[in-house]
Amino acid sequence: MARKSSVERAVKATGGFSTAHKNIVVQYENADHRTDDILSGIREDVLGKGVNESDIVKVDVYIKPEDHKVFYVVNDDINGSIDF
């Protein structure tokens, strides 16, 4: 048991999945959409609505490729969408 917790502490200290660089791509109809680009578009849209970036604590994203839309909810309060 002591060895397992030592390994867990080492992973937390040095990284692991939670700190690893991630690249997620949604492919639909011969087009690639990177999640970083989707999140950047959402950020721009929310900031354009007058929300301060420091006030954003939660972002829920719903991708509907068949509608070519990405819907989002920020802080359980602000709804919007961007093109996919």
What does the pLDDT profile of the chain (84 residues) look like in tens digits? 556 677 677 666 677 887 888 899 999 999 999 999 999 999 999 999 999 999 999 999 999 999 999 999 999 999 999 999
Contact 82, 43 (CB under 8 A): no
pTM of the prediction? 0.74
Question: Do the Cβ atoms of 72 and 40 come closer than 8 Å?
Answer: no
- CA distances 36 to 32, 44, 47, 58, Å, are 12, 12, 16, 16
For 33, the token pair is 């959409």
Non-local CB neighbours of 5 within 8 Å, separated by 6+ positions: none
